[in-house]
Chains A and B, each alone.
Chain A
Amino acid sequence: MTGIRVALAGNPNVGKTTLFNALTGSRQHVGNWPGVTVEKKTGRINRSGHAIEVIDLPGTYSLTACSADEVVARDYILEERPDVVVQVVDATNLERNLYLTTQIAELGVPVVIALNMADAAEAGGCAIDRERLSALLAIPVVRTVGIRGEGLDDLLDAAVREAETPPHHEHTVGYRNDVEAMIASLVGVLEADKDLAERYPLRWLAARLLEGDENALAKVRESPVSPRVQALLSTIDPDECEAAMADRRYDVIAAVLPQVRTAGARGMNVSEMVDRVVTDRYLGIPIFLALMWGTFELTFAVAAPFVALIEAGLARLSAAVAGSIGPAWLASLVGDGIIGGVGSVLVFVPNIFILFLILSFLEDTGYLARAAFIMDRLMYAIGLPGKAFIPMLIGFGCNVPGIMAARTIEGERDRLITILVNPFISCSARLPVYILFAGAFFGAAAGVVVFLLYVLGIAAAIGSAKLFRHTILPGESSPFIMEMPPYRLPTAGTSLLHTWSRGVMYVRKAGTIILAGALVLWCLASFPFGVEYGSSASLAGALGHLLEPLVAPLGFDWKIAVALLFGFVAKEVVVGSLGVLYGAGEEGDALSTAFLADPGLSAATALALMVFVLLYTPCLATIATIRKETGSWKWAGFSVAYGLVLAWLLALIVGRIAPSFIGGA
């Protein structure tokens, strides 16, 4: 059996993920590209005696070396030499998609075009003569419909055929005469360096040098021919050459298109009609706000029965455990520790899944791009790009995927700021803490209090973004250049898959970090052996007493100090550990009653506590994600320290001024 490596390339939003999933099914492996935080997905297929490995390259508009995504895609094709590159092309948007084709073809690898979204193109009355397109480009073109899995076999066959054919002529764009002359002289010079000639297609390298491509310049810097290359380059204007080449690529495409495409009448299409309303000057913002509000309403309303179900199940399980497990300490470990700890996270699973489902839906339909369009002006004022809005929105569900969503932001500083302020966006794990305290102390006004906390979180994020922009990460925010993809009706499959992959991450967190945290908590609350669980005499109690002086100015006692400490594992654990410490169990009502009976807890203290929980140190999973996404512990550590300081200060202020508003402690 021979192995064939197939790299999937393409613009963003062309259905590449859908096609990759359809091709590889569940046989996927997700990792990272070496050295960068760009996700690398690979999958294996066996087909007619070939072991095919499919590598999903990041979605890019071009192969210049401007963003991490582009460098990854380009270096993979250039250095790893896949047997064939399959470019997924959006049939409804040939012109811009083929621009990337001209760049991939220049790299001298066999290429196959998957003409995806063929259904959408045909529905729009646009007919594409595939054979003619294939003949003109000298590239096989296969019709595919990713969402229905159509054309996959043909695509694989074409890829295998191309991979096995010895490389034919290089099919590259012919540039303007003077540019071609320069390329020829550069190639003449470069040929003298055998190493370079072996590693890179010289025509491609010469063209990049003409454009002043940093990455390409670095490749020849060490070469003995470097001085002669520099001498040649000193005579040209790289900006002008670059524009001339880009222009020429589009010219070639413009010459091909009329021969292969009979465009449907381009009247008012559905996307345009929707956009007229959705991005309308007066309606745009209200619709956006209504959608966001609806998202959260649905998240909680739809999830409620499932949450109740899980709670009931956990209660049964605890009861069963308590009744059947022998030694009391083991029953306590399983019941209080494992079921209590992990259960406190599991109850959010329905909320998280539904939130992710709605967000995936908004993303897959193309609405999120409109949201960024509408919000950009505001985000810009904050010092962030419009795209930073999406990570923030997702952060309301959970900061982990929120921070991961910052990957779509190109500027490194913008990305860092977006990541660092994300923990202030109040994730759903903090909600149970608010519900508990606001419910116990603010009665009918609880809703307003919770709302204000969300607002405070947003304000903290904005203020911090401004602060970072002016201090540790100075500079302009990166330009906003965003495609507005046409609206698409996502299939249940794509949205569910997106939801699933994000949701599973959350559950995995529950299964690992939180389980470990729960066990540590149980140990601290149970030792030294023989003490009453979670009492003042336990290790947890001792720790709390140790920390008490630090939080005393905020009005918190040792119990709260312990709960906050454990909230570091995951913020929802704060509720569980208070339950343990107050000896009230997980039941919300019992705990509220216990709070009200505690003379040390006033409404003002409760408010300060909620503020503290909102802002302090992100949970363990978030810290791990920050570390992973920024590539350094430095930023993760910074995030922890900054959050603690900010939380302490604001909780202090709130605790001091609150009494004058809510009628004293």
Chain B
Amino acid sequence: MEPSDQNAPLRGAVTTLDCIGPACRCRIVGIRASGALRKRLLAMGMVPGADVEAVRAAPLGDPVEYRVKGYALSLRRAEAGQIEVVPEEE
């Protein structure tokens, strides 16, 4: 990845899924979790290369509902924080 210049909004910069705001789309580039959590995430379609859209947060702010692989999945922010994503440009 190219070093991004100055303070321009970091398009294409890697962040984690929990930082994605509602109604934003992004693409998964990596899963940091290991073990059972990793297997669960992969099985549920959270695989590198998948497109994910944040749908909404629960009334108390956590967990967050995402749309991935054509269905709705909810994750706590703690788990979403283990998923590396690149925001998609509109």
Contacts and interface: CB of A to CB of B under 8 A. Distances in A.
Interface string B23-65: 0000000010010111111111101111000001111111101
A538 interface: no
A109 to B, nearest CB: 19
A99 interface: yes
Interface in B58-87: 58-63, 65, 69-76, 78-79
Contacts of A373: 58, 63, 65, 74
B58 A479 contact: no
Contact of A239 (B36, B38, B70, B76): B38
A279 B59 CA distance: 7
Most chain A beta-carbon contacts within 10 A, residue among B37, B38, B48, B73: B38
Nearest to B32: A239
Most chain A beta-carbon contacts within 10 A, residue among B34, B42, B48: B42
A281 B69 CA distance: 25
B69 A250 contact: yes
Given A479-B40, A479-B76, A479-B79, A99 B45 contact: yes
A96 B42 CA distance: 11
A481 B72 contact: no
B18 to A, nearest CB: 13
A284 B75 contact: no
A219 to B, nearest CB: 17
A246 B47 CA distance: 7
Given A242-B38, A376-B63, A481 B58 contact: no
A178 interface: no
B17 to A, nearest CB: 12
Interface stretch (A30-38, A59-67, A580-588, A635-643): A59-67
A250 B43 contact: no
A285 B58 CA distance: 10
Contacts of B49: 247, 250-251
Interface string A377-392: 1101000001000000
B29 to A, nearest CB: 11
A484 B38 contact: no
A373 B44 CA distance: 17
B68 to A, nearest CB: 8
A64 B70 CA distance: 22
A482 B70 contact: no
Contact of A247 (B48, B65, B79): B48
B56 A480 contact: no
A659 B16 CA distance: 56
Contacts of B43: 61-62, 64, 99, 246
Interface in A26-70: 61-62, 64, 66
B21 to A, nearest CB: 14
A96 B66 CA distance: 14
Interface in A456-515: 479-486
A374 interface: yes
A94 B41 CA distance: 18
Contacts of A250: 45, 47, 49-50, 69
A93 B71 CA distance: 7
B37 to A, nearest CB: 5
A380 B69 contact: no
Contacts of A557: none
A377 B40 contact: no
A481 B79 CA distance: 8
Interface in A280-316: 280-282, 284-285
A82 to B, nearest CB: 22
A239 B39 CA distance: 9
Given A247-B47, A479-B79, A96 B58 contact: no
B11 to A, nearest CB: 24
B34 to A, nearest CB: 6
Contact of B34 (A239, A279, A482): A239
A95 interface: yes
A279 B56 contact: yes
A243 interface: yes
A514 B59 CA distance: 43
A58 to B, nearest CB: 14
A285 B43 CA distance: 31
Most chain A beta-carbon contacts within 10 A, residue among B31, B43, B49: B43
Contacts of B65: 275, 279, 373, 484
Contacts of A251: 49
A480 B74 contact: yes
A482 B60 contact: no
A32 B63 CA distance: 33
Interface of B: 31, 34, 36-45, 47-50, 56-63, 65, 69-76, 78-79
Given A284-B59, A481-B41, A481-B74, 6 more contacts: A64-B43, A246-B42, A250-B50, A251-B49, A380-B62, A386-B63
Closest 7 CB pairs of A and B: A62-B43, A377-B60, A284-B59, A246-B42, A484-B72, A64-B39, A95-B69
